[in-house]
Amino acid sequence: MAKTDFTLQIVPVTVSVVNDADVPEIVHYHGLLIPTDVDGAEEEGTPAGPPHGSRRYRFTPTPAGARWYHTHTMSMDDLHRGTYTGMFGFLTVEGANNPGRYDQEHCLALRDWEPYFTHQAMDSDDLDAIWPQPERPEAMDTRPAGLEGAADIFSVNGKALGAGEPIRVKPGERVMFHFLKD
């Protein structure tokens, strides 16, 4: 049997974060083994992007696999900041080979829109046959923490139910789905 030589190429990347917000913004990466000064945790020393400015981060993303990123700006009781604004996404670090052996790969980002505070500890709509469902309040409830965040509008990859093309799978195909919820 002949010996096969291969070279593993690990390539550094530069990520430019453009911040259009009125507050400092920071991007945090999940599942990467990267230095703390670029990981996106301000408490670990990653510098935030200034309001209406930008910042560049350079690192070598490892290990290979499906990863994700999101804002690390604390929203506190402001549901118009941080992850509530949809600042999250997929990050794929490709390996030297593809051991998955699947025919299709799909990334599905699930997002809540127009969040509001509620006193419900859980979604009990399906447990109670009494209708109608609670409506979104006219004004946002800004009482202290301890309230649940809720939403009545949802999307998959930015599209509501019925919009866009369905995922088509032929019999016998193997499909890899990656789901991400904000």
Residue 133 domain-assigned?
no
Residue 103 domain-assigned?
yes
Residue 139 domain-assigned?
no
Residue 137 domain-assigned?
no
Q: Which domain holds residue 70?
A: 13-115+151-181
Residue 32 domain-assigned?
yes
SS3 sequence, the chain?
Answer: CCCCCCCCCCCCEEEEEEECCCCCECEEEECCCCCHHHHCCHHHCCCCECCCEEEEEEECCCCCEEEEEEECCCCCCCCCCHHHHCCEEEEEECCCCCCCCCCEEEEEEEEEECCEEECCCCCCHHHCCCCCCCCCCCCCCCCCCCCEEECCEEEECCECCCCCCCCCCCCCCCEEEEEEEC
Question: Which CATH number goes with the domain that contains 65?
Answer: 2.60.40.420
pLDDT in tens, 35-63: 988 998 888 888 888 999 999 999 999 99
Residue 27 domain-assigned?
yes
- What's the mean per-residue pLDDT of the chain? 80
In the chain, the number of structural domains is 1
What is the reported pLDDT for 8? 55
Average pLDDT, stretch 65-76?
Answer: 85
